[in-house]
Structure 1
Amino acid sequence: MVKSDFENLRVYQLAESLADEIWNIVGRWEQFAKDTVGKQIVRSVDSIGANIAEGSGRYNYQDNRRFVRIARGSLNETRHWLRRAYTRNLLTKEQVGKLKPIVDELSPKLNAYLKSIGHIPQTKD
């Protein structure tokens, strides 16, 4: 299968990586934790990449920017659920150590991607 343009974006790859890591962690939780925090965090983290993908398919700068803003909101929601999961002893320090660098890189990349949409780099003649 040929990759779409959005799949080549580092910001999308980070979102996908974070979603996969969280999926693997939540899959090992007990049922009550999965049904409460687990489902919420998986939905919010999956929404980050989904909105990047959907926005890139709109071929309209305004729509694309709107979807990236939604992705940014989903990242904030994911942060909330990660904090809840850690406070409730559902995440180990090792797991947090693996997730934190991805979140820390993803946040500024999302902001930079948002700022770049609709801006064509000027070339010097």
Structure 2
Amino acid sequence: MKFKFESLIIWQKAMDLGEEILLLSKSFPDLEKFNLSSQILRAGDSIALNISEGSILQSAPEFKKFMGYSIRSLAEVITCLHKAKRRNYITDKEFDIHYSFCFNLMNMMIAFRNKIK
């Protein structure tokens, strides 16, 4: 037995992204502990959290609203990745890998939201 959202590929990928962001943020300097590290972790976790929360709602408009929150959280993660790259906390390769994953997930999430009826 499992919840409906656990079968969603976007939720599964969002869960994976949250764990990857956790590992990545561990390489940030201590001075970012309450700033960029905290922000990227909260935004990364918020993606899957909002997908699951929205999926249990009875109305399509409400689910779409929560998908919007998830998409905006993913945009936050992307911006944090840019900040981390500019501050030389992550390599170009790390940035490219995570950026590509986020780009693909963003497209999947937007397509999914557009199909909610």
TM-score by length of 2: 0.92
Return the index of the structure with the highest Cα Rg.
1
Deviation per residue, 1:44-89 (Å, 9 max, x gap): 1111111101000112111101000111111111111111111001
Q: Counterparts in 2 of 1:18-29, with a 5 A limit?
A: 18-29=17-28
Match of 2:72 in 1: 73
Contact 1:27 1:34 in 2 (8 A): no
Match of 2:60 in 1: 61
Contact 2:81 2:99 in 1 (8 A): no
Quick one: distance in 1 between partners of 2:13 and 2:60? 22
Cα distance 1:20–1:63, how it changes in 2: closer, same or farther (>3 A)? Answer: same
Unaligned runs of 5+ in 1: 119-125
Quick one: distance in 2 between partners of 1:103 and 1:45? 10
Q: How many residues were matched structurally?
A: 117
Quick one: distance in 2 between partners of 1:49 and 1:108? 15
Match of 1:94 in 2: 93
Quick one: distance in 2 between partners of 1:29 and 1:73? 23
Q: Aligned partner of 1:26: which letter?
A: S
Quick one: distance in 2 between partners of 1:82 and 1:97? 9
Q: Aligned partner of 2:112: which letter?
A: Y
Q: Counterparts in 2 of 1:84-123, with a 5 A limit?
A: 84-118=83-117
Partner of 2:35: helix, strand, or coil?
Answer: helix
Match of 1:7 in 2: 6
Displacement of 1:24 in angstroms is 0.6
CA RMSD across the alignment: 1.3
Q: Aligned partner of 1:100: which letter?
A: Y
Match of 1:34 in 2: 33
